């Protein structure tokens, strides 16, 4: 009978020694909260393209205004935020950016087509509040 209490004490001692591994455990009070993640900036690359190629004339915020070019030419650069810029379909913007004209340089040899598309999305989102562009003009059928 003496053996049973002694075995019980040995077993209890072994378990308590095994439980003490020297590491401390902490409880995570935030376990129920989702981990904070950074929201990726989907326009980061397009914003960099705009700042490099468009900001000088259209301004950092797309306001446009009078600009004096290096050759002394003065231009009245249109706003990308208001006025006629809001009334043009995407195809007009793409054509203007690609081919240039009215004092604006062509970017077809400076930017890839997908960069121009992304730049247009940036303009619509950042400067025009995510507005839906006007519908494309109907192309007449040729007979």
In tens, the pLDDT along 81-138 reads 999 899 999 999 999 999 999 889 999 999 999 999 999 999 999 999 988 888 886 5
What are the tens digits of pLDDT across the range 2-26? 565 655 555 556 555 555 555 555 5
The percent of residues in the chain predicted with pLDDT above 90, rounded, is 53
pTM of the model: 0.66
Q: In this predicted structure, what is the pLDDT of residue 24?
A: 54
What's the pLDDT band for 36 if we cut at 50, 70, 90? Answer: low
**Which residues in 45-79 are b (16+ Cβ under 10 Å) and which e?**
ebbebbeebbeebbbeebebeeeeeeeeeeeebbb
For range 43-52, the mean pLDDT: 96
Nearest Cα to 75, choosing from 92, 51, 101, 57?
A: 57
What domains can you pick out in the chain, each with its CATH number? 44-127 (1.10.760.10)
Give me the pLDDT at residue 21, please: 55
Measured distance CA(111)–CA(109) in Å, rounded: 6
pLDDT tens readout for residues 64-89: 999 988 888 899 999 999 998 999 99
Which of 40 and 13 is assigned the larger pLDDT?
Answer: 40
pLDDT at 12: 52
């Amino acid at each position: 009978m003496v053996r049973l209490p002694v075995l019980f004490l040995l077993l209890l001692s072994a378990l308590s020694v095994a439980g003490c591994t020297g590491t401390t455990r902490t409880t995570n009070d935030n376990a129920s909260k989702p981990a904070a993640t950074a929201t990726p900036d989907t326009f980061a690359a397009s914003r960099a393209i705009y700042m490099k190629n468009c900001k000088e004339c259209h301004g950092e915020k797309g306001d446009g205004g009078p600009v004096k070019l290096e050759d002394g030419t003065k231009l009245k650069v249109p706003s990308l935020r208001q006025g006629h810029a809001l009334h043009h379909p995407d195809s007009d913007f793409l054509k203007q950016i690609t081919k240039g004209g009215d004092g604006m340089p062509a970017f077809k040899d400076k930017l890839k087509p997908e960069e121009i598309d992304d730049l247009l999305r940036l303009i619509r989102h950042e400067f025009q509040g995510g507005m839906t562009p006007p519908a494309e003009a109907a192309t007449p059928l040729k007979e």
